[in-house]
Amino acid sequence: MASKADLAMISHLLRRAGFGATREELQRYAAQGYEATVEELINPPNENAAGKTALLIRYNPSSLLPGGVTVPGQYNWMYHMITTQRPLEEKMSLFWHHVFATANSKLDGADQLVEQIVLFRKIGMGSYRDILLEVSKDPTMLFWLDNNENHRYAVNENWGRELLELFSMGVSNYTEVDVREAARAFTGWNIEPRLPRQPYWRFPWKFEYRAEDHDDGEKTFLGRTGDFNGEDIINIILEEPATARFICRHLYNFFVADDVQVPAWTIEPARDEEALEMMIDSFIESGYEMKSVLRTIFNSEFFKNARFERLKNPTEVVIGALRMVGGSEFPAPGIGELASQPKYMGQDLLNPPSVEGWHTGAEWINSGSLMRRINFTAELVGDVSRPGIKNMVDRLIAIGDTSAEAVVDSCLDLMGPLEVNPESLTELNGFVTKGGDFAWDSEADIEKSTARVSALLQLIVSLREFQYA
């Protein structure tokens, strides 16, 4: 049987590389070992995503409808996150959605955004070069950053600028001339427009390269000169040391520990420069393979020592809680309301506030979002009919220790394992002790003790430690 320390480390890994895990999942992963679990996350088993989508559409036909509201697309994606057997794949999709932030506020097509998430799901753990290339051809991105209006004799710099500033190198590593030359190289990279709404709503965009609209003149970009096309620009970007540093800093902030926000990266040093250099070396030596740098991160001591050093984003709060308590694996009515929960906490999926994505860490928290987090998770763990809560109660009964302090320790273990500060532990013990020892001898005893456990779990999810990954 795995030790508590082993379970705690696996739990840490699965919170960061996924959305948490049930006790059964933790025990399975712990039995095969930490490094083997990392490999399974990076190279997951096959999963019939198409069949899952078909089931979702069967019971929620609106989940792929085009139009100006995001909710159908949100619960489409959330259903995949709730039910996935490939958690890191979905987590990387969330990562790229933050980096390559595109929003329905301009696109007016949640179905198009879902297609982008499908793209991230497909390529998100592959070569960063391939990711940049595919995103550069993605109709969602091309429309979002106006490359459909970037023409040979009328250059639009929006895509060229954000490619450098937010998607690869970061500010201060290029000039305004580089921006314009990059934009010239991407002229002709366009989209086939949507058909009109009626009578059949709208059809998806497709990438279209228009050679006659491409500026094939000589360009000078980052010190290189040639008849560059968009793919050449990407190749040059990848040769720049700033690119690996920029992406690895994103990865550190998303998977390891909260750092300063992106606009401050030019003036603020990395939280852990040694860890960042290790990631950069792995990234470059592998030829910009995401799997390689992810493997380096998860097997590193700096990652293992960063437990509860990163505030969960709203999607992690919602999906993690739903997977923990169970009961949402079937796309029953009401999933649309669940899909809106991250928005209420400050993360409107498929509709980030700007091309910069969301600010993270402590900026997720204000008085309103904190109450939303606590109330949502407390309501879930307060529902004793949920299979995950029933399983916790069954485990408490099997443990057999009925003292108040022992039940508190067991619940903290089953909810994480979590290590809470002494003051919080004292408060939890004080709350439970008022009701005396627990009893599991009769149906009436079980019902009463289950209600007490539920109340205890509601307090635990309100703790700072639970809100951190």
Quote the CA–CA distance of 129 and 231 in Å, as a whole number: 9
Quote the CA–CA distance of 298 and 294 in Å, as a whole number: 6
pLDDT of residue 140: 95
18: exposed, middle or buried (Cβ count in 10 Å: 0-12, 13-18, 19+)? buried
- For the stretch 358-370, pLDDT in tens is 999 999 999 999 9
Tokens of 315: 């999607």
Quote the CA–CA distance of 65 and 59 in Å, as a whole number: 13
Please say whether the beta carbons of 16 and 251 come within 8 A: no
- For the stretch 389-410, pLDDT in tens is 999 999 999 998 889 999 999 9
- For the stretch 214-258, pLDDT in tens is 999 999 999 999 999 999 999 999 999 999 999 999 999 999 999
Which helix H or strand E contains 293, and what residues bound it?
A: helix 290-299
Count of Cβ atoms closer than 10 Å to residue 48 Cβ: 10
Residue 20 has pLDDT above 60, yes or no: yes
Q: What is the average pLDDT across 361-387?
A: 95
pLDDT of residue 338: 86
Which helix H or strand E contains 235, and what residues bound it?
A: helix 230-238
Quote the CA–CA distance of 301 and 20 in Å, as a whole number: 20
49-59 helix and 71-83 helix, angle to the nearest 10 degrees = 130
Residue 416 has pLDDT above 90, yes or no: no
Distances (CA, A) of 405 to 101, 133, 429, 455: 46, 56, 6, 15
Strands annotated E in 317-393: none
- For the stretch 159-185, pLDDT in tens is 999 999 999 999 999 999 999 999 999
CA Rg value for the chain: 24
3-class DSSP assignment, residue 172: coil
Please say whether the beta carbons of 43 and 86 come within 8 A: no
Confidence bin at 205 (pLDDT 50/70/90):
confident
206-209/224-226 β-pairing? unpaired
